[in-house]
Amino acid sequence: MTATTATTITPTAARVVDAVKVYGSGDTVVRALDGVSVDFPVGRFTAIMGPSGSGKSTLMHCAAGLDTLTSGTAHIGDTELSSLDDRRLTLLRRDRVGFVFQAFNLVPTLTVAENITLPLDLAGGKGGKGDSGDEEWLDALIDVVGLRDRLHHRPSELSGGQQQRVAVARAFAGRPDIVFADEPTGNLDSRSGEEVLGLLGRTVRRTARTVVMVTHDPVAAAHADEVVFLADGRLVDRMESPTADKVLDRMKAFEVPS
């Protein structure tokens, strides 16, 4: 028998291929993305960094199906987003994608527990996954985010860091394939920010989910498994096992001398 070497291919939770996004026209045209191709592997925590105006938030919004590309393709798993009508795209975002934003976006009249389960409640439960499975998942998730003693509190009774932990739990509640986080520590002090970033990393490792985070902060990016760097709408570098110092040094290369 002839021995063969198997090549392991890591599946991707999301990817964009030759992504172009143009805003405006004529003299006011802005090419926010200029032919970006990047994949976000399953079970990994990836940070997107770049100077202001580099296209990092545009990339996240297009990869997540919150905005459409001018040309190129965006995929969640094997699903190409431009092939979906509005209804199917809404269902995909509901069932397969989670979001964490800089603003916590919690419902003030609901308890922590009710805020966490809100996406499931609005969807009437996730078809095919079973109520008992949802309950087990949520119970484990509450322990991961450390909110067991806060379930009956309302958002106004929580610190900013605790509110963002609720938002993280809510994002993962429906067992999405991927969670997109846009500057999730932007409204937090450094200690609370560290707690939330550590939480995102632990959730990725313990649940085998995927997180893609946009950030401008090298310390935040250092929590990721990998950093992708954008400049002028183009992918210019990728860094495995980042540290804050290495990320900061790479970002300095983008600075324009005054």
pLDDT at 127: 43
Helix (H) or strand (E) holding 33: strand 30-41
pLDDT, tens digit, 9 for 90 and up, residues 57-75: 999 999 999 999 999 999 9
* 122 has a pLDDT exceeding 80: no
Give the max Cα distance, the chain: 68
pLDDT, tens digit, 9 for 90 and up, residues 128-169: 444 556 788 888 888 888 899 999 999 999 999 999 999 999
Mean pLDDT of all residues in the chain?
A: 89
* 247 has a pLDDT exceeding 90: yes
DSSP string, 147-196: -GGGTT--GGGS-HHHHHHHHHHHHHHT--SEEEEESTTTTS-HHHHHHH
Q: Mapped to the 3 state alphabet, what secondary structure does 109-130 carry?
A: CCCHHHHHHHHHHHHCCCCCCC
* 257 has a pLDDT exceeding 80: no
CA angle 203, 204, 206 (to 5 degrees): 60
User: What DSSP character marks residue 68?
Assistant: -
pLDDT at 125: 56
Phi first, then psi: give them for residue 104, nearest 5 degrees.
-70, -30
Three-class SS of residue 56?
helix
Superfamily of domain 45-61+85-252 in the CATH hierarchy: P-loop containing nucleotide triphosphate hydrolases (3.40.50.300)
Domain parsing of the chain, residue ranges: 45-61+85-252
pLDDT at 253: 82
Decide: 135 and 117 in contact? Cβ < 8 Å.
no
pLDDT at 135: 84
Provide the whole-model pTM. Answer: 0.89
Least confident of 13-17, 28-32, 108-112, 233-237: 28-32
